[in-house]
């Protein structure tokens, strides 16, 4: 089974609507590694690592988001394994502070 690490940036109405918590819950339920955080420009940034098909399904879910979110765009690119070091110690998937 192949493994992927993808970095995504989600824009739209994605802050103040529980988007980060929703991403963390969904990613954890899928046994993905990574993190999610708000950005000061109003977007949400996330890193997903795991089986390629599961990561792709998570990104597809991010295009919809939780019910009250309004996703305008999702940009994705290859992620770097070093970016996983941003997680909190002992956590598979972390909600990080705003940058």
Query: 31 catalytic, yes or no?
Result: no
Query: 20 catalytic, yes or no?
Result: yes
> Annotated catalytic residue: which of 6, 37, 38, 87?
38
> Annotated catalytic residue: which of 6, 20, 37, 87?
20
Residue 4: closest CA among 44, 50, 54: 50
Q: Are strands 93-95 and 33-38 parallel, antiparallel or unpaired?
A: parallel
Q: How far is Cα 66 from Cα 92, in angstroms, rounded to an integer?
A: 21
CA 26 to chain centre: 9
Active site (catalytic) residues: 20, 38
């Amino acid at each position: 089974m192949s493994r992927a690490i993808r970095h995504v940036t989600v824009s739209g109405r994605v802050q103040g609507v529980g988007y980060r918590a929703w991403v963390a819950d969904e990613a954890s339920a899928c046994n993905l590694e990574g993190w999610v955080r708000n950005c000061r420009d109003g977007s949400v940034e996330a890193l997903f690592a795991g089986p390629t098909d599961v990561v792709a399904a998570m990104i597809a879910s991010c295009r919809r988001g939780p019910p009250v979110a309004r996703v305008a765009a999702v940009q994705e690119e290859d992620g770097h394994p070093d970016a996983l070091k941003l997680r909190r110690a002992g956590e598979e998937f972390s909600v990080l502070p705003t940058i």
